[in-house]
Structure 1
């Protein structure tokens, strides 16, 4: 796992060092947990940075890294003999991914992030395959997007429906 993280960071650093016709963007996103985790988690908060290159006039591709945090809920469970509280631990991931984006017009785009999300919290979280298809609106300086973020882990999927904002540098 440490070797994978080192290789991903080295690839990202190499990308910056050799970039000639690329752009850097960074942003935030908020999401509502869906599917397997919707009863245990209340909110997803994320940060991402990416560097992309123009492959053609309408297509960009690159690499990125981020942090995604799922806030655990506390629920009251009634057993018939009384009630007790169940507190779910927060979950955190560091996604390392390839990213691609196709512009249908000057302002409308669709894209996807694919990679691996390293599990950082709780301690038994090993991480898993990371994916995020998204559509959005862009200008020369920013993007606003809607996406479906997922991390496939043993026993289920951490997924959320997200809204995000990226600033282009």
Structure 2
């Protein structure tokens, strides 16, 4: 896990060093930057299906389109897992960067989050690497998507779920 974070860190530093030679003037407008807020619902799979029956969550994002097709940003929220067979409910708070590719101004998109998932109400496990690929439909105001979410937590436990989400775009004025 430490090697993965080291490789990611070196890649980001290298990318920023190459791009630092060009001065970029970024203008934030309602047409290229906005907040996304919404809800998700999923079914745990893999290891998670042994101790959780369902999960719901809140999805909060800030996005900037740096071309008409490519968007980047930060993502967070909260995912609540409903325990089963005597297991208490628990949660996961993601803190991630994300990238999305929009094929057209309205239509199909795909993207992924990459970051860290912090676990709540779980003993002896703080969290781990968080990955959340998505594919969906978007228009100027809404995003509807399917996702596969995986948090590679400590103690060789993968917290995985598949589900659907919907977010509303809150434009800057």
TM-score with structure 1 setting the length: 0.78
- Report Cα offsets for 1:32-78 as digits up to 9, x if no partner: 1001121221001111111111111101001121111111102xxxx
What displacement does 1:19 show?
7.5
Indicate which of 77, 98, 120 corresponds to 1:66: 77
Q: How many Å separate the matches in 2 of 1:28 and 1:110? A: 18
Q: Judge conservation of contact 1:93–1:121 (CA < 8 Å) in 2.
A: no
- Extract unaligned runs of 5+ from structure 1: 1-17, 75-86
Map of 2:87 onto structure 1:
88
Map of 1:131 onto structure 2:
131
Equivalent residue runs for 1:145-156 within 5 Å: 145-154=145-154, 155-156=156-157
How many aligned positions are there? 140
**Residue 163 in structure 1 maps to residue 164 in structure 2:** yes
Map of 1:121 onto structure 2:
121
Moved >4 Å (runs of 4+): none
| Structure showing the higher strand proportion among its residues | 1
Please, what is the CA RMSD of the aligned residues?
1.5
What displacement does 1:122 show?
2.2
- Report Cα offsets for 1:63-107 as digits up to 9, x if no partner: 121111111102xxxxxxxxxxxx112221111010111012231
**Residue 20 in structure 1 maps to residue 19 in structure 2:** no
Q: How many Å separate the matches in 1 of 2:118 and 2:27? A: 26
User: SS where residue 140 of structure 1 aligns?
Assistant: coil
TM-score with structure 2 setting the length: 0.77
